[in-house]
Structure 1
């Protein structure tokens, strides 16, 4: 006997919470993807999405009535009949479980969602040298572009599919008057059938998934680095690594990580010290032997030798060009194009070349997105 006359209890509370968590995690992850300094939050939200994807696949195998994949209507003839009936009969009866359209949507969403999270984890490891796949950074940076493309457009495809899904729900709500909008809020659908019954062990699984997803999110955002976001590269002590470079170059300005420019750029810089940022550097300032030592250090650790994200992208953007300034590289210009010129005129910044003003620990070789300091 049904608890509510004229309605069927289809979606248990755990399923409803997870449904909205999936919607919220994807939406917020999608939004944060447009902001470099929010990468840490983006990753944390991505782990919620990943947890729910895994849950839904398992739930589709062991879940209660109306939730399992074997109840899905996936034959093309069923999908065709669904849309024909939808057009011809405004007041047709709806099934208690998934109709052909929602069956296809669920399978498609899980497939594309899996592509999103797998490509995201791989990209995080290869490009950022962080997370579970950070070990791939050493050998697979040539695939950054492909992984980024897959992750980006799979997300756009998922977003488009969500809008189609919402449009379908709106049609059900306002044209067919099925009350579909409230089904995933109350758990009840206005139809015929038997109320779903959830075994205690399945309820435990659903609530555990909710707690794991939320716990993972807070575990990630509460600390910069943990086993899920641990980075391959750590701070570099340039003073210990090369005292001459650190002391002589750092006497006038903060040191620049050598991997930010290619070898030929450093050679150009070191061969034109008579006009270095408008200053003349002579042997009285830095001896010839010191200059030679600094140049050797810079070329040995130049962009060509590094797999850090900035180094790889600088080299990719340059082609045959070898500018003397980081701010002249296409990569720098692209990543800073949305920053108003007025920002660089602030007292604490003064110039575009003052990288450490906006990038904490820049002089220790760190270009981490979460270390970006915005000064609007």
Structure 2
């Protein structure tokens, strides 16, 4: 049988096909972070939902710390060494996009990797400033930093979503769906071998348990 016509042709002349790129830990991290960020933002103005706000915010930071570890020991496309590029490479990526010739990276492209790291740093700053605000350290300054950086992070999230939509159109593949099923177009030899379901399950359960600990007040050092 002939292969589907929807498969793109790679630089080597071989047909590209759907391959496993994103392991389960990366996917679990991504969607839990989406939920935590949205939840923290939506509960930020309510005193009645203050503990829920704390739980979402601290769990987001917990996820970032896990992602930092997985970025070193994880599978091929989860590693920072795979997608953190030099400023020259990031600029080259943007210029190629403007010329209508974007790079079809299997993992994160240079710009996407940069945005992800910036967002991770911002969320950690939000968490730290929120903690200092709870402890009434630095007076109102910590609270102002918390709110300002949260607004900046929201802008980065919106930029990230728009970029995902644009790149989906340019690359002719659904990048949002790829973060659900873990698959993107590429050569068979570019695929990762193991989805790491067990590690993903541990991250999911660990994050839910940490969320519960914060919500129930079992970690008063973070909320009082």
Shorter-chain TM-score: what band? 0.7 to 0.9
Question: 2:127 aligned with 1:124, yes or no?
Answer: no
Question: 2:61 aligned with 1:50, yes or no?
Answer: yes
Gapped runs of 5+ residues in structure 1? 127-139, 233-376
Measured after TM superposition, the shift of residue 228 of structure 1 is: 3.5
SS in 2 for 1:8: strand
Taking the aligned partners of 1:231 and 1:107, their CA distance within structure 2 comes to 27
Q: Is residue 65–residue 197 contact of structure 1 (8 Å, CA) maintained in 2?
A: no
Question: 2:141 aligned with 1:146, yes or no?
Answer: yes
SS in 2 for 1:115: helix
Change in CA separation of 1:27 and 1:231 when aligned onto 2, cut-off 3 Å: closer
Measured after TM superposition, the shift of residue 230 of structure 1 is: 7.4
* Structure of higher CA gyration radius: 1
Query: Could you tell me which residue of structure 1 aligns to residue 207 of structure 2?
Result: 213
TM-score normalized by structure 1?
A: 0.52
Query: Could you tell me which residue of structure 1 aligns to residue 156 of structure 2?
Result: 161
Alignment of 1:23-34 (within 5 A): 23-34=34-45
Q: Is residue 66–residue 98 contact of structure 1 (8 Å, CA) maintained in 2?
A: yes
Change in CA separation of 1:89 and 1:227 when aligned onto 2, cut-off 3 Å: closer
Of residues 206-215 and 49-58 in structure 1, the stretch that sits farther from structure 2 once superposed is 206-215
Measured after TM superposition, the shift of residue 204 of structure 1 is: 4.0
Q: Is residue 96–residue 191 contact of structure 1 (8 Å, CA) maintained in 2?
A: yes
Query: Could you tell me which residue of structure 2 aligns to residue 109 of structure 1?
Result: 119
Taking the aligned partners of 1:21 and 1:57, their CA distance within structure 2 comes to 15
From 174, 181, 205, give the equivalent of 1:186.
181
TM-score normalized by structure 2?
A: 0.84
Paired residues in the alignment total 209
Q: Is residue 33–residue 42 contact of structure 1 (8 Å, CA) maintained in 2?
A: yes
Q: Is residue 23–residue 78 contact of structure 2 (8 Å, CA) maintained in 1?
A: no
Query: Could you tell me which residue of structure 2 aligns to residue 226 of structure 1?
Result: 218
Query: Could you tell me which residue of structure 2 aligns to residue 74 of structure 1?
Result: 85
**Per chain length, whose mean CA-contact separation is higher, i.e. which structure has more relative contact order (CA < 8 Å, sep 6+)?**
2
Query: Could you tell me which residue of structure 2 aligns to residue 236 of structure 1?
Result: none
Measured after TM superposition, the shift of residue 73 of structure 1 is: 3.8
Structure richer in helix, relative to its length: 2
SS in 2 for 1:36: coil
SS in 2 for 1:189: strand
Q: Is residue 10–residue 96 contact of structure 1 (8 Å, CA) maintained in 2?
A: yes
Taking the aligned partners of 1:182 and 1:108, their CA distance within structure 2 comes to 23
Taking the aligned partners of 1:145 and 1:103, their CA distance within structure 2 comes to 33
Q: Is residue 94–residue 191 contact of structure 1 (8 Å, CA) maintained in 2?
A: no
Measured after TM superposition, the shift of residue 231 of structure 1 is: 7.0
SS in 1 for 2:164: helix
Deviations 1:13-49 (A, max 9, x none): 2321221110110111011001121111101111220
Alignment of 1:1-376 (within 5 A): 6-89=17-100, 92-126=102-136, 140=137, 143-192=138-187, 194-198=190-194, 203-221=197-215, 223=216, 225-228=217-220
